[in-house]
Structure 1
Amino acid sequence: MAAHTASLFSITTGSSDPIYRQLIEQVRRLIAAAVLNPGDILPSVRDVATTLAVNPMTVSKAYNMMETEGLLTRARGVGMLVAQTQSTQEKEHLIIPTLERAATEARQLGLDPETVVLLFKKILGESK
């Protein structure tokens, strides 16, 4: 069980996504990447709010929503803990918005789907 600091998180102030949503997505991605593991302790609401210079209620809202979703559990006297690992289906769900943006851009550029798929396969192969 590892304890993490508030520097684990960052926010994009110019984003159209609300801050609480940004925090939720970051936790999901950190779990998917195994940076956060089951039983790890998240930083306190106060620490995150102070570090990011945001309202503590915003952080609290994000933590409560993640608890409702089952990503986090509340441990009395300890704080919020990572509750579970993500399934492959949950990981796939995380990449859908990125792929949708890429598909929209490909359509706007007039690229055919076969070309886009080949480019994506090439990019995936380069990361190995």
Structure 2
Amino acid sequence: MQFDNSAAIWVQLVHEFSRRIVVGAWAPGARIAGVRELAAELGVNPNTAQRALAELERDGLCRSERTTGRFVTSDQARIDALRSQLAGSAADDYIARAQGFGMDSDQARQLIEERWNHHDHHTHRPAEGEGR
């Protein structure tokens, strides 16, 4: 993971861990790796990883069980809300940038549609028996 010097590392870890939950890399109800293991994986201090996990716990995205570790929430509605929140933030960023480039909402929507279709076309994987 590449870190941005303009934001605290623990905050960046909260975003990364949230992303992992939303995309299913950390499945609902799954055990999360230990603090030391995560810290080693990401090249950060264990206290930094602990702070990020504690924030996820405060946000209801994981729970801690004294003897068995931390687990991703099983609350699918909470995960769906997080997905909407993260996508909404990305949309806000896009809107601000598009406005900064002098685009109006129609131009911005058109660009999104073009790029969406471009990504769909390039990420489509043929089903078994389907030709390319």
**Cα shift at 1:27:** 1.9
2:22 is aligned to 32
Higher relative contact order (CA 8 A, sep 6+): 1
Letter in 2 for 1:73: R
1:23 is aligned to 13
Q: C-alpha separation between the residues in 2 aligned to 1:31 and 1:39?
A: 10
Q: State which structure, 1 or 2, has the greater radius of gyration over its C-alpha atoms.
A: 2
Q: C-alpha separation between the residues in 2 aligned to 1:38 and 1:81?
A: 8
2:115 is aligned to 123
Q: Which runs of 4+ in 1 moved over 6 A?
A: none
Q: C-alpha separation between the residues in 2 aligned to 1:60 and 1:22?
A: 13
2:83 is aligned to 91
1:54-69 aligned within 5 A = 54-69=44-59
Tell me the TM-score normalized by structure 1: 0.79
Number of matched residues?
Answer: 117
**Cα shift at 1:73:** 0.9
- What secondary structure does 1:74 align onto? strand
Tell me the TM-score normalized by structure 2: 0.77
What's the CA shift string for 1:25-75, capped at 9, x where partnerless? 122222211221122111111112223332211111111111111111112
Q: Percent identity over the alignment?
A: 24
**Cα shift at 1:96:** 2.3
Q: Which runs of 5+ in 1 are unaligned?
A: 1-9
- 8 Å contact kept, 2:3–2:12: no
Deviates more, 1:63-72 or 1:52-61: 52-61
